[in-house]
Amino acid sequence: MPAPQQPTPSGRVTVVGHSSGGIMLRLFLDDQPFEGRRWNGRARVDTLVMLGSPHTALKATPLRQRVARQLPGCPFAPAAYRNSSGDAHDRGDGLVPVSSALLEGSESVVLEGVAHGGAFGPRWYGTPEVVERWWPVVAAPAGAAAPQ
């Protein structure tokens, strides 16, 4: 039998987006219309976690360019590298360079040895021991020091 769900203190939820899912969640949180609909997810969400989300890229898709224009920074918080940062030797998770994943104004955690997905390495953001490294930062009270 599953454990009963407990309401959060704020009555809102934490949402987690991996890769482009983080970009899509930024649109969901915005109170401006997107494709004819106003989602205003910010009213239901207290924390947005983005794992390996490519916020900037030299060859960004039209959707990512639109998100960057409409939602600059964080108002609420190999070859692929060449497409994102222009530097094939940039540090990152095998697909998204660190410089592209860090969103101005957000609390950032850089996890060494973590791959974007299974094709890039054995441990990705959803691997249990990796979740144990980033989840405490999400669960910590605002302003608390992040564990290393």
Q: What is the pLDDT of residue 52?
A: 92
DSSP 86: S
pLDDT score at 148: 46
Query: Which domain does 51 fall in, by range?
Result: 13-139
Q: Tokens 């989840």 sit at which residue?
A: 135
Residue 121: inside a domain: yes
* 49 part of a folded domain: yes
Is there a domain that residue 92 lies in?
A: yes
Q: Is residue 85 part of a domain?
A: yes
Q: Is the CB of residue 17 less than 8 Å from the CB of residue 53?
A: yes
Residue 134 in domain: yes
The DSSP bridge partners found for residue 72 are: none
Note whether 76 and 104 are within 8 A (CB): no
Model confidence, pTM: 0.75
Domain count, the chain: 1
Question: Per the domain annotation, does 145 fall within a domain?
Answer: no
Which residues lie below 8 Å from residue 46, measured CB to CB, with a gap of 6+?
A: 8, 10, 12, 13, 14
Provide the pLDDT for residue 2. 57
Counting as low any pLDDT under 70, the low residues of the chain are 1-7, 74-85, 141-148
pLDDT of residue 32: 87
pLDDT for 15: 92
86 is a domain residue: yes
Which pLDDT does position 77 carry in this prediction? Answer: 44
Residue 3 lies in a domain: no
